[in-house]
Amino acid sequence: MTFLQMELFTGIEAVSPGAPSSDEAGGGSVRGIGRLFSGRPGAGRPSACHGPEEHGAGGQDEPGEEMMARRWAPIVERMDQVWQEHGALLGLVDMACVGMFIFDPEAHLVFSNRFGERILATGDELKLGGGKLSATRADNVVRIGQLFTRIASAPLWTVGTTRIERSPASPYILMLTRCMLGRNEALVAFLSDIDQRAEVASEMLRELYGLGRAEAEIAGAMARGMDLEAIAEQRRTSVGTVRNQVKAIAAKMDCTRQSDIIRRVLSIPIMCHAPDGRRD
């Protein structure tokens, strides 16, 4: 059994649907978050030798202690390697500018990457209720409930999507699938924020295509779905000025239509860095 399988099994088995979640109990973290990937390298590592209290009174060396230490050495070495791999994997999923969530078969959250945690922490429409994904708006609660109900009873690897409406921001796009992670069944969700993607991508346009700051901001606004009139109003300039800037953007990006600019912006691979480079 791989480390991922063991951690997922621990996370799913340890989260009881009837147990109170930390959001109900007023705790500082979501129930189950970090149980799949604890984010605490070094926690739980076995030591090479047992403590003195386990081997004899007064800490006296026992005849078999050195032998036990030699037997433990390869295990400790392997565990160190596993923890390094664990930290590397956690770092990778935290760099994704998309919310990644793993739920147990009863839809209780057992893991979220950092981007997903941020979305839940901001309270920007999405939240947790009883350890399950919920929302502030009633229509979004219905959409989430219908999606989870449909996918939970669907064949493995079935994928479903829904919108999570926000105002005035663009809606989140929620994708959910029921799958096997190792030997464990789970519901895996991905949550994308078009506005966030466009914002991050627009910062890269200056390097990729030589756009000026204003041009990059306009290209990002277009990718977020704003029309030229709205962009002009936001920037407190005329529509004619924005049109001229869009023409310059198209020339630099080798595009002939505004839709080509938007497609180029949204196709840029992006990553998000954790503020402190690691989890708490």
Residue labelled with tokens 């306009």: 218
Q: What is the pLDDT of residues 1-51, one digit of tens each?
A: 444 444 444 444 443 334 444 344 333 343 343 444 333 333 344 443 444
Q: What is the mean pLDDT of residues 164-193?
A: 90
Whether a cis peptide bond, with omega within 30° of 0, leads into 168 is yes
Is there a shared CATH topology between the 3-37+65-193 domain and the 195-266 domain? no
Q: Output the pLDDT for position 13.
A: 42
Q: Output the pLDDT for position 84.
A: 75
Q: Output the pLDDT for position 42.
A: 37
User: How far lies 154's CA from each of 75, 103, 140, 159, 235, in Å?
Assistant: 41, 15, 21, 9, 47
The residues near 139 (Cβ < 8 Å, ≥ 6 apart) are 165
Q: Output the pLDDT for position 19.
A: 41
Q: Indicate the fold that domain 195-266 takes in CATH.
A: Arc Repressor Mutant, subunit A (1.10.10)
Please give the backbone phi and psi of residue 193, each rounded to the nearest 5 degrees, phi first: -120, 105
CA gap 129, 22 in Å, rounded: 10
Q: Output the pLDDT for position 63.
A: 55
Choice between 279 and 82, residue whose per-residue pLDDT is larger: 82
Tell whether the model's pLDDT for residue 106 goes beyond 70. Answer: yes
Of the listed ranges 99-103, 105-109, 180-184, 209-213, the least confidently predicted one is: 180-184
Question: Which residue ranges make up each domain of the chain?
Answer: 3-37+65-193, 195-266
Q: Three-state SS string across the chain, please?
A: CCHHHHHHHHHHHHCCCCCCCHHHHCCCCCCCCCCCCCCCCCCCCCCCCCCHHHCCHHHCCCCCHHHHHHHHHHHHHHHHHHHHHHHHHHHHHHCECCEEEEECCCCCEEEECHHHHHHHHHCCCEEEECCEEEECCHHHHHHHHHHHHHHHCCCCCCEEEEEECCCCCCCEEEEEEEEEECCEEEEEEEEEEHHHHHHHHHHHHHHHHCCCHHHHHHHHHHHCCCCHHHHHHHHCCCHHHHHHHHHHHHHHCCCCCHHHHHHHHHCCCCECCCCCCCCC
Closest CA to 103 of 40, 152, 137, 172: 152
CA gap 136, 158 in Å, rounded: 27
Q: Output the pLDDT for position 191.
A: 94
Structure tokens belonging to residue 260: 């080509």
Q: Indicate the fold that domain 3-37+65-193 takes in CATH.
A: Beta-Lactamase (3.30.450)
Q: What is the pLDDT of residues 50-64, one digit of tens each?
A: 444 444 444 455 557
Q: Output the pLDDT for position 182.
A: 78
CA gap 179, 185 in Å, rounded: 6
pTM confidence score: 0.64
Highest average pLDDT, of 11-20, 218-227, 266-275, comes from 218-227
